[in-house]
Structure 1
């Protein structure tokens, strides 16, 4: 694999890390599946929970759930371009709004499913304590390294990160030092491998990777509430889609989300 440091030297510091490297099954279109299977396109940060929910749902219903995980922006564009899907789970409201405005989801099925928290992670065992104070020195703490997060132009975690850093008066200094990843899990991989000294991810992502640790937590009032909406896709072909969406919202389903660190969705603005 090409060294990440050489990749980071390219214009815009944009990262294109393959699904094979990340290991969570990113595809450019939903995988082929039998008509009765449920096809889910879900934000990368939901992978572990959705996989368990799918397994439990199959045991109860006999229906298989085929899932594809990536940044919400990429998945919304796939749906817009005709990729088959029954359910879309976004990591922010904007990309669900994007599809709803184009009549590509079933508006009545839309629900605010989950909440999350924004944190700074560092490689496990690192003594670095990120400075998240107003006007703090986070950029200086990076040394000659970069700060990994989702691309703020379209990836939800990057948009939340930008808002938080702007609120703290640190965005202008940090922006040129970003490693702009194509999903939150891609940013997490960079930190876990020690390719960058810090990353901004969701607390749930930090919890599933033993190679990182949470070094700082952003003040909750420094960024918009993190809300994961879910909805049926208008072009859904599977009668099981509604059943799986209901299962994810059920007490049993919510227990799985809680197991992976998610919280109930906060009140929408």
Structure 2
């Protein structure tokens, strides 16, 4: 692969990059101070395993800021997420695994390698579908796998992982031709949940039902994780309205349902 031509950058862009590099270096220095002997006892006690939940939490908070279109909060949350990268890299460096520089160089190399239409010797225009297909082909060549399902992270939210597993299986032709297949599967799984007689059976069948629902959403072109988040937000907003009604807790279920229906009609 030949080196790409230098990007045209004005003085403002160059200055911003220099300031960004300086700021990231400052953050790395802060982490060094926190982890060095005599540093912060809490930070020194952390491991990859103890920090991982914070990393996931910060990623979700970034997503939340985006959903709320809160740019000041997004700026802050991206900083918190960047801290997680620096934290993990520092711990890895201490153990002799890799450094923050290795992390940055690895992702730079990957981005150039997986965008041959931009950085390759035969660079040229490509559609979004072509770019995605090329990315997947290169990724598959880089990481040979025993199964098409390899690499779907266990730590993903369950609905997101269900969608990704189904998408991966579809690459091998294991998929319904349209949405009627998974819809029928939902009805089948509902019946099996109702027929379950033990807690273990109910748990298993309820899981099958949720997987079928995620697959149905996938066939409709709906992101099941985002759909459920929207439903959660809608439920929360409506319930907050009706729980403020005087005597709500003492009402019958029919009366509470009437309030719920009323709340649905409010903006």
TM-score, shorter chain, exceeding 0.5: no
User: TM-score when scaled to structure 1?
Assistant: 0.21
Q: Which has the higher strand share?
A: 1
User: TM-score when scaled to structure 2?
Assistant: 0.21
